[in-house]
Chain A
Amino acid sequence: MKVLVPVKRVIDYNVKARVKADNTDVDLTNVKMAMNPFCEIAVEEAVRLKEKGTATEIVVVSIGSKSCHEQLRTALALGADRAIHIDTELNLGSLQVAKLLSKVVEEEQPELVILGKQSIDADNNQTGQMLAALTNRPQGTFASEVVVEDNKVAVTREVDGGLQTVSLNLPAIVTTDLRLNEPRYASLPNIMKAKRKPLDVKVAADMGLELSSKINLLKVEEPSQREGGVMVESVDELLEKLRNEAKVIA
């Protein structure tokens, strides 16, 4: 079974995003970048499927400028077999990304596509579901468990009230939630080996798709800051304040 894992280069999880002074966007100049954490979980899940003998080949794909080779090499070091870079300098929306990925799906015919549920920059939570729509495949979103069996995949999903399990016909699309697995670190020998694994480059503009976005980013601002309040000395004082000052309890 072939597994396709799209990965995204984003601001490092530990770095706090700063808004540009002219309010046009977030300032990413000289900011540490990394693989989106939910994408790391997706790569890890694919690697575990390969270790179990379920997956036979793992292809990773990333869309963006040449700098995303760094994240593709990381995925190769973690156990992916080959990589595809779709080269573009455009700032794409989830729909355009899903369209490009659907072309890759058409070409590669993976039985399973595993994606992160959302990227920690745009926080859209759309790409996997859109890819499922465009390829007319079933979707198992926010997965906390993935079991492949007899041409089907059972996906346990993190839903608001608890957990829901769905059974999807393969080929299918899965998006990862946090508890699906704990990604491993790449070992040094594997990082060295990854440098020799194949990485193909395609040009997004040559893929015959309309890539311009019709959502205009008008402004980016800092969120309103909450002012800190007062320290209280005791439980009694806290209750007194909540009852008489804030009036939120009886």
Chain B
Amino acid sequence: MITLLVAEHDNSELKLDTHKAVDAITKMGGDIHVLVAGAGCQSVAEHAAKLQGVSKVLVADHDLLAHGLAENLAPLVVDLADDYSHIVAPATTTGKNFMPRVAAALDVEQISDIIEVVSSDTFKRPIYAGNAIATVQSEYAKKVITVRTAAFDKVSETGSAEIVSLEAVADAGISNFVKQELTESERPELTAAGVVISGGRGMQNGDNFTLLEGIADKLGAAVGASRAAVDAGFVPNDMQVGQTGKIVAPDLYIAVGISGAIQHLAGMKDSKVIVAINKDPEAPIFQVADYGLEADLFEALPELETKL
């Protein structure tokens, strides 16, 4: 039994999602090989070779793979599939994009977003926006799986796997990368941060998010938002925490002016400690918070920033 894990990276940096996916695969058992597909991604491959439990790193370094286009990445994975019992990727927007294309090409039903490994063929995954947890078993000889990384721990970097270069990457010739507009931030990424502070509709507008940013800078935290805040146009969608946004599980999650819709809870309820600041004592967020503070956020936030 050997698993192929497709690494999450941006050509210069290996993402922690990869470390966490290795943890999930370790629980399935067997050998682990990691595929690093990208352009100018040698340093990522060297980093991946250190992940505890990984025995081989395959590198496909080619301009056609620079931006993870599913049309070019999926055939590469399909070509490698013969040697593997499991094909796994983190359930990031990259993994969610190309993995079903791999699964269909292999005529296998994919199991998305696993949060627990029961055995090498049986997994738990959330359904109905996290309102139910399904245990599913795959009868396929080859399993195609995406991992909800927030549900797993990152493995250490104490290994030293061999690195093998792959040749021959084909251009499907049906799609092109045009441009990327990534949010520039000095703060950690939402899914990797140890502390997350999020604002909801109670923030009233986008400018007031600076109140969260001051605190975030003191705590080394990432700044998130509820879907209500995104829908209201306060902040961009890539800040959204929730079932339709990012799933996070930091050590500390601070929800400010967020009522606590099911949709939002699905994205943060696995955080170790949850703090809620809201002026409405009936807000459902208080039912999941370890520490609730009923207060006007416009008074509480400046005070919190000063006293940190």
Residues of chain A whose beta carbon lies under 8 Å from any beta carbon of chain B: 11, 16-19, 26, 93-95, 98, 120-134, 136-139, 141-142, 144, 154, 157-169, 172, 177-179, 213-223, 226, 228-232, 234-236, 238-239, 241-242, 246, 248-249
Q: Chain B residues near A167 (CB, 8 Å)? A: 175-178
Residue of B nearest to A142 (CB): B93
**How long is the Cα–Cα vector from A123 to B111 in the complex, in angstroms?**
10
B100 in complex: contacting residue of A133, A217, A223, CB < 8 Å: A133
Let me know if B129 and A123 touch, CB within 8 A.
yes
Against A, the Cβ 8 Å flags (1 = close, 0 = not) of B117-143 are 000001000111111111111111000
CB distance from A126 to the nearest CB of B (A): 4
Let me know if B132 and A213 touch, CB within 8 A.
no
Residue of A nearest to B190 (CB): A160
Let me know if B293 and A238 touch, CB within 8 A.
yes
Q: 6 tightest A-B contacts by CB?
A: A129-B100, A229-B290, A130-B104, A17-B128, A133-B104, A126-B100
Let me know if B131 and A17 touch, CB within 8 A.
yes
A216 in complex: contacting residue of B137, B177, B295, CB < 8 Å: B137
| Interface residues of B, dominant DSSP | mixed
Let me know if B300 and A235 touch, CB within 8 A.
yes
B238 is an interface residue with CB less than 8 A from chain A? yes
Against A, the Cβ 8 Å flags (1 = close, 0 = not) of B200-235 are 000000000000000000010000000100110000
A162 in complex: contacting residue of B70, B181, B219, B274, CB < 8 Å: B181
Q: Chain A residues near B176 (CB, 8 Å)? A: 166-167
CB distance from A118 to the nearest CB of B (A): 8
Given contacts A166-B178, A214-B140, contact A124 B307 (CB under 8 A): no
B134 in complex: contacting residue of A137, A220, A241, A242, CB < 8 Å: A220
B46 is an interface residue with CB less than 8 A from chain A? no
CB distance from A208 to the nearest CB of B (A): 15
Given contacts A161-B182, A167-B178, 19 further A-B contacts (CB under 8 A): A94-B100, A123-B127, A125-B96, A128-B100, A133-B101, A154-B178, A159-B93, A160-B246, A161-B183, A165-B179, A169-B173, A179-B230, A218-B135, A220-B135, A221-B132, A231-B293, A238-B293, A246-B290, A249-B252
Number of A-B contacts (CB under 8 A): 252
Given contacts A169-B175, A242-B291, A246-B290, contact A130 B273 (CB under 8 A): no
Q: Chain B residues near A17 (CB, 8 Å)? A: 127-129, 131-132
Given contacts A133-B101, A232-B291, contact A248 B252 (CB under 8 A): yes
Let me know if B128 and A242 touch, CB within 8 A.
no
Let me know if A229 and B293 touch, CB within 8 A.
no
Let me know if B178 and A223 touch, CB within 8 A.
no
Quick one: which of A127, A132, A217 has the most chain B CB within 10 A? A132
Quick one: which of A132, A168, A178, A215 has the most chain B CB within 10 A? A215
**How long is the Cα–Cα vector from A202 to B230 in the complex, in angstroms?**
41
CB distance from A29 to the nearest CB of B (A): 15
Residues of chain B whose beta carbon lies under 8 Å from any beta carbon of chain A: 10, 67, 69-71, 74, 92-94, 96-105, 107-113, 122, 126-140, 172-183, 189, 191, 195, 219, 227, 230-231, 236-238, 243-244, 246, 251-252, 262, 269, 272-275, 286-295, 300, 303-304, 307-308
**How long is the Cα–Cα vector from A26 to B132 in the complex, in angstroms?**
8
**How long is the Cα–Cα vector from A185 to B96 in the complex, in angstroms?**
30
**How long is the Cα–Cα vector from A177 to B244 in the complex, in angstroms?**
9
**How long is the Cα–Cα vector from A44 to B71 in the complex, in angstroms?**
26
Q: Chain B residues near A241 (CB, 8 Å)? A: 291
Let me know if B110 and A235 touch, CB within 8 A.
no
Let me know if A126 and B112 touch, CB within 8 A.
yes
CB distance from A102 to the nearest CB of B (A): 9
Let me know if B178 and A165 touch, CB within 8 A.
yes
**How long is the Cα–Cα vector from A142 to B96 in the complex, in angstroms?**
10
CB distance from B149 to the nearest CB of A (A): 11
Let me know if B293 and A235 touch, CB within 8 A.
yes
Could you list some 24 contacts between A and B, CB below 8 A? A120-B128, A125-B96, A128-B100, A130-B100, A141-B70, A158-B238, A160-B94, A161-B10, A162-B181, A162-B183, A164-B177, A165-B178, A165-B180, A166-B175, A167-B176, A169-B174, A214-B139, A216-B138, A217-B135, A220-B135, A230-B290, A231-B286, A234-B293, A248-B252
**How long is the Cα–Cα vector from A177 to B92 in the complex, in angstroms?**
15
Given contacts A133-B74, A231-B293, contact A217 B275 (CB under 8 A): no
Let me know if A126 and B304 touch, CB within 8 A.
no
CB distance from A108 to the nearest CB of B (A): 19
**How long is the Cα–Cα vector from A121 to B138 in the complex, in angstroms?**
19
A126 in complex: contacting residue of B103, B189, B289, CB < 8 Å: B103
Let me know if A19 and B112 touch, CB within 8 A.
no
